[in-house]
Chains A and B, each alone.
Chain A
Amino acid sequence: MDEILAIFLKEWRTELRARNGLFVSFTFSLLSVVAMGFACSIRTPSGSLGAGLFCLTLLFAAVVSLPRTFLSEEDQGTFELLRTLADPGAAFTGKMLFATLLMLLTGALLGVLFPILTGLEVKQLDLYIVAIVVECLALGSAVSLCGALVLGSPNRWVVVGVLALPLLIPQLAMAIGAFRAALGDGFVAAGWQNVAGLGGYALASVASGPSLVGAVWRRGG
């Protein structure tokens, strides 16, 4: 637990010093939402379309910004040192927690800006907030796993996207179902069911990630 906390704090301090991850993530999210706002300026999209657009923004923000915490270790040549000093499972968990926090902050920003700029009305605020939190957890854990797996690849920034996108599609489908209901298109009960499915998915990713990556990093990997 101490190791996890130490890695998390290291990431947090590095981020506060450079503010690279937050800056990239926020700028990208802002650009995507503004672009979608332009597209929706003439006619407000339906709840279903809005849900799809919102999830796409979250997905691309995650794929662009989250793997950075892992890939920067390799770029700086500090990955081997980290692997030697810390328990691989704990190192991954600390970094995954930081990536999830980054995603939650991005999700909060997007969650506020998206309805304002697209003109969509949030009909179920509680469902909307819970869906954002759970989707950010699911995205944070799954993208972290992919970021950890591509370490050592010469073109890792491209490969991480190739690995993450098909892995994230099922959870994206559930998130769209939840946001659709939150935006007033569809049954609220179905929305909560989707949140429950998404929660299960996030839980599975969070639980399996450290042991999988631990096994990859521990010996020979």
Chain B
Amino acid sequence: MRRLMLAAAITASTVLYFLVPDAAGAWTRPDLARMLFFHLPCAFAATLFLIAMSWFGWRYLSTRRLEWDARLEAATEVGLLFASLTMVTGILFSQVQWNAWWNWDPRQTSFLLVLLLMGASVALRGALPDEHRRASACSAYAMATLLPSIFLLFVYPRLPTTYSLHPSTTITNGELVGIYRYSPILIGLVILWFGIVAYRSKVKAVLLEKEFITHVGPLESDLDPAPPARVGRAVRVSSDGGPEG
């Protein structure tokens, strides 16, 4: 039932996206200003999951319960998904509104680095075969990324020496008016809902996988690949059936 409601909410968001009139104001392409409805909430969701990663890392290192590692893994993957969506929608927005796919804007650049930090967490998880060592290392790395992430997301784009095309005061100054003010919030709630459902499903899947490995054995994908096939050598056969020469 819940999944059905989520599907309905996603459909309603998509319909809302097309029903909203073009934005008023100084947009290069007012018809595509509605990309904000997805771009902004994805960025917020990615940031939330990034902070959650550090929290789960700390919880694992304090308790040593693998459940927290499963949560960390799920938060990393879902956060990476949202960060990727933020980048993709941001790059498209940049092209249509600012006429450049990439312009080294501080926010664009800092989000790319956050994406790299999340990618590095996934790489670290894949690199360590031992379950407990993997959990410990990933937790410590998640905690170590908190400070650079805060700097990249909240400090660097606001430094007086940097100039950003991203307006920082649009929301606080109430520059988004009418339906453009409420649509990102509504769609953002749906996106967050989707994120939480994806996160919980992933946690369940990871915990089930751990249980399966404990009781049954390693998964087929974790086993060593099949040994290479034996190399054959062509041998000429004489008319009587034996090898020639």
B143 touches A152 (CB 8 A): no
User: Looking at the complex, which one of B120, B129, B135, B144 makes contact with A212 (CB distance below 8 Å)?
Assistant: B144
Report 24 cross-chain contacts, Cβ distance below 8 Å, ordered by A residue: A149-B137, A150-B137, A156-B127, A162-B119, A163-B141, A166-B119, A166-B148, A167-B117, A167-B144, A167-B148, A169-B148, A170-B113, A170-B152, A170-B156, A201-B147, A204-B147, A208-B147, A212-B143, A213-B140, A217-B136, A220-B133, A221-B132, A221-B133, A221-B137
- Which residue of A is nearest B57, CB measured? A212
Number of A-B contacts (CB under 8 A): 93
Quick check: A167 and B136 within 8 Å, CB to CB?
A: no
The answer for the CA separation of A216 and B129 in the assembled complex, in Å, is: 15
Residue of A nearest to B138 (CB): A149
C-alpha spacing A217/B61, complex, angstroms: 11
For residue B181, CB closer than 8 A to chain A, the reply is no
Give residues 114-167 of B contacting A (CB, 8 Å): 116-117, 119-120, 123-124, 127-130, 132-133, 135-137, 139-141, 143-145, 147-148, 151-152, 156, 161
Q: A159 in the interface, Cβ–Cβ < 8 Å?
A: yes
Contact of A159 among B124, B135, B139 (CB under 8 A): B124
Interface residues of A (CB under 8 A from B): 145-146, 149-156, 159, 162-163, 165-167, 169-170, 173, 177, 190, 201, 204, 208, 212-213, 215-217, 219-221
Collect the chain B residues with CB atoms within 8 Å of residue A208's CB.
Answer: 143-144, 147
What's the nearest-Cβ distance from chain B to residue A51, in Å?
13
Q: Does B29 contact A (CB under 8 A)?
A: no
Nearest chain B CB to A96 CB, angstrom units:
13
**B152: chain A residues within 8 A (beta carbon):** 169-170
Q: B76-134: which have CB < 8 Å to A?
A: 113, 116-117, 119-120, 123-124, 127-130, 132-133
